[in-house]
Amino acid sequence: MKDIKIVIPSHKRWNRIRTTSAVYGATLCVEESQAEIYKKCNPGVELIVHPDSIKGLSRKRDWIIKHVGDCFMLDDDIDHLSRIYTEKGEESVVDPEVAYEIIQMTGYAARKAGAFLFGFSSSPTPISFNSLNPVQLSGYVTGCAHGVLEGSKLWYSPDIICNEDYWISLLNAHHHRLIWKDTRFYWAQKDTFVNRGGLAEFRNVENEEKDFLLLQKVFGSVVELRKSTGKSNLRHPFQKSLKLPF
């Protein structure tokens, strides 16, 4: 199996890229009209350029998996990869070179297991980590950090505006059943929901509602509205949860 390409989809954040410092060997994927300024602000970083007609993150992700092949996509505001299973006083931040190897090994394990979609923990807290079940074979991958391997039946709907991670997780459950999630590691973001550019240009309550209705229309009642609890408050009324039957 060839190396998995680590790709950072980015839009209008040429001077605020964090992720290239979090993992070795990552490539920026940008619009043709923004390529020159991205190159100027990120010297030495490889660029993958797509036509300006590819608008929106879902379309960009779909273009990536069709043109790049085996890939792992990271948002451009990733600060570092964290090791969740640490002892008291042990450093949790993973070096960029090691982060690269972890992506490669996780993708290789996913391929050997017969999975096409792979990722890592969606929770940074050690209390959510089950040391007796470190790899999950069902569930959801976060949009900020997930991989898609060649040969799948996966694609990203151009009608999904803010929730392409829910779309791809549900589509994967429908077609392939199996996912590969290594919950020992978590990709830590900065400035999510407030960082100018990127998906922040499109993320609002109206579009979240449109996404929720589309996901329910396509995938049915497994897509539910999340209920507020005493432990966490909702950021908006259309936050979702998935109740997959397997």
Which positions of the chain have pLDDT values less than 70? 1, 191-203, 228-234, 236-237, 246
Q: What is the pLDDT of residues 158-193, one digit of tens each?
A: 999 999 999 999 999 999 999 999 999 999 998 654
Helix-strand-coil split of the chain, %, nearest 5: 30, 20, 50
CB atoms within 10 A of CB 74: 25
Rounded CA separation 78/97 (Å): 15
The answer to whether 13 touches 197, Cβ cutoff 8 Å, is yes
* Sign of the torsion formed by the C-alpha atoms of 165, 229, 120 and 117: negative
- Two structure tokens written together for 195: 């960082």
pLDDT reported for residue 227: 76
The answer to whether 6 touches 26, Cβ cutoff 8 Å, is yes
Measured N-to-C along each axis, helices 205-219 and 164-175 cross at an angle, to the nearest 10 degrees, of 10
Pairing of strands 180-182, 145-148: unpaired
- The residue with tokens 């997780």 is 169
Rounded CA separation 160/152 (Å): 19
Domains of the chain: 5-194 (3.90.550)
pLDDT reported for residue 204: 81
Q: What is the pLDDT of residues 199-234, one digit of tens each?
A: 555 568 889 999 999 999 999 999 988 776 655 666
